[in-house]
Amino acid sequence: MKQTKTGRADRSLSSEKTEAILKGGMQEFLAHGYAATSMDRVAIAAKVSKATVYNHFQDKESLFNALIQRLVEHKFSTIFDGADAQILQMPPQAVLTEFANRALDVGTQEPQFLNFMRVILGESGRFPELARAFVRNIEQTAFKSLCQYFTHCPQLNLADPEATARVFVGAIVHFLIVQEMLHGKDILPMERDRLIATLVNLIVVKPTEQP
């Protein structure tokens, strides 16, 4: 395998250009989706010629796959990650509230994440493997992290921690989708704190009957 200027052996072509193309591709694909993005505009955004793009990636589909794969595995992989060890020492109510708040801060922390999710959802028919990669790296991360907490936290005696984790993540992600992605804020107004408080209460308040 060829060696490049930057000394990295894991790519056979100039890493700088590859990075520029991926960055330009991210800008264009996340803004317009797969079909509405042209390789001309990717090249312009990357400040290289179109031929250079095709020197680094076999075709449009390859570039898209490589780009989304990288976003799924690196840039956004920890976006729904659990809280720090420090926070985990607090009472469950606080831990879960913090977890939910972190997840919903995504809009401000990673401004491109909403577009990223839009593309994943929109292209999940044409690119099922990218959708699965999203589930494995992002949905599953959030889910497993919560699930572990639900299982090991002594105060919470949940009958089904796994299913409860799904409910939790579902409520949060769906809230994000309706309010932000689908522009539903003005139609179905709901303060974030109110949703989180209700969701957390449903889980931490002990039921009277335990079969």
**Token output for 40:** 């001309």
Question: 27 CB contacts (<8 Å, ≥6 apart)?
Answer: 45
Q: What is the largest CA-CA distance in the chain?
A: 68
C-alpha–C-alpha distance, residues 134 and 77, integer Å: 9
Q: Does 111 bind its own copies (CB under 8 A)?
A: no
**Which residue from 23, 27, 54, 171 is in contact with DNA, where contact means CB under 7 A?**
54
Selection from DNA, its own copies, none that 56 binds (CB < 5 to 8 A by kind) is: DNA
Stretch that binds its own copies, among 13-21, 64-72, 79-87, 202-210 (CB under 8 A): 202-210
Q: Are 2 and 55 in contact (CB under 8 A)?
A: no
Q: Does 55 bind DNA (CB under 7 A)?
A: yes
**Which residue from 119, 145, 151, 155 is in contact with its own copies, where contact means CB under 8 A?**
119
Question: 40 CB contacts (<8 Å, ≥6 apart)?
Answer: 50
The H or E element spanning position 164 is helix 161-176
**Which residue from 51, 85, 159, 187 is in contact with DNA, where contact means CB under 7 A?**
51
CB burial class (10 A; 0-12, 13-18, 19+) of residue 100? buried
Selection from DNA, its own copies, none that 52 binds (CB < 5 to 8 A by kind) is: DNA
Q: Does 11 bind its own copies (CB under 8 A)?
A: no
Considering the complex, what minimum distance in angstroms separates the CB of residue 200 from DNA?
Answer: 46
Q: Are 14 and 24 in contact (CB under 8 A)?
A: no
Q: Which residues bind its own copies (CB under 8 A)?
A: 31-36, 115, 118-126, 128, 131-132, 134-136, 139-140, 143, 159-160, 162-164, 166-167, 169-175, 177-178, 181-184, 187-188, 190, 194-195, 197-199, 201-203, 205-209
